[in-house]
A and B are shown apart, each in its own frame.
Chain A
Amino acid sequence: MLLEPFAAGDSFLHRLDPRIRLASAVVYSCAVAVCTAFPALLTALLLSMALIALARLRITAIFKRLLVVNGLVVFIWAVIPFTFPGEALFRLGPLSAAKDGVELAAQITLKSNAIVLAFMALVATMPLATAGHALHRLRVPDKFVHLLLMTYRYIFVLEQEYQRLVRAAQIRGFRPGTNLHTYRTYAYLVGMLFVRAVDRAERVRWAMLCRGFKRKFYSLQEFRAGAGSIAFFFLMCAAVLGIAALELWPGSW
Chain B
Amino acid sequence: MTISEPIIDLKQVNFSYPGGPAVLRDLNFRLHPGERIGIIAPNGSGKTTLFHLIMGLAKPFGGQVTIFGQARREERDFAEVRRRIGLLFQDPDDQLFSPTVLEDVAFGPLNLGKTKAEAAAVARRTLNFLGLNGFEDRITFKLSGGEKRLVSLAAVLAMEPEVLLLDEPVNGLDTRTRARLMDILRGLDLSYILISHELDFLTATTNVIYTMENGHVRLDRELHFHQHTHAHPLGGSPHEH
Q: Which of A28-36, A90-98, A104-112, A147-155 contacts B (4 or more CB under 8 A)?
A: A147-155
B:146-199 near A, CB below 8 Å: 155-156, 159
Q: Give the contacting residue for A153; candidates B83, B99, B102, B159; CB below 8 A.
A: B99
Is A212 in contact with chain B by the CB < 8 A criterion?
yes
> Which of the candidate stretches B12-20, B37-45, B105-113 sits at the interface with the other chain?
B105-113
Residues of B within 8 A of A214 (CB): 111
Provide the bound-state CA to CA distance between A128 and B116, in Å.
Answer: 21
Q: Which of A153, A156, A213 has the most CB of B within 10 A?
A: A153
Query: In this assembly, does B95 line the interface, its C-beta being within 8 Å of a C-beta of chain A?
Result: yes
Q: Kindly list chain B residues whose C-beta atoms are within 8 Å of the C-beta of A212.
A: 79, 82-83, 108, 111-112, 159
A211 touches B159 (CB 8 A): yes
Q: Main secondary structure on chain B at its contact with chain A?
A: helix
Interface segment out of the listed B59-67, B86-94, B226-234? B86-94
Q: A207 and B89 in contact (CB under 8 A), knowing A129-B99, A153-B140?
A: yes
Contact A153 B111 (CB under 8 A): no
| Chain A hits for B89, CB < 8 A | 203, 206-207
Closest Cβ of chain B to A60, distance in Å, is 24
* A225 CB-CB contact with B under 8 Å: no
Q: Are A204 and B99 in contact (CB under 8 A)?
A: no
B residues 53-83 with Cβ under 8 Å of A? 55, 57, 79, 82-83
A214-233 contacts to B (CB < 8 Å): 214, 216, 218-220, 222
Contact B94 A153 (CB under 8 A): no
A132 to B99, CA, bound (A): 10
Contact A220 B106 (CB under 8 A): yes
B91 — nearest CB in chain A belongs to which residue?
A203
Residues on A facing B (Cβ under 8 Å): 127-129, 132, 149-150, 152-154, 156-157, 200, 203-204, 206-214, 216, 218-220, 222
B residues at A contact (CB < 8 Å): 52, 55, 57, 79, 82-83, 86-87, 89, 91, 93-100, 102-103, 106-108, 110-112, 116, 119-120, 139-141, 155-156, 159
- 22 A/B residue pairs, CB under 8 Å, sorted by A: A129-B99, A129-B139, A153-B141, A200-B93, A203-B91, A203-B94, A206-B52, A206-B94, A209-B55, A209-B57, A209-B82, A210-B86, A211-B82, A211-B111, A211-B155, A211-B159, A212-B79, A212-B108, A216-B111, A218-B107, A218-B119, A222-B116
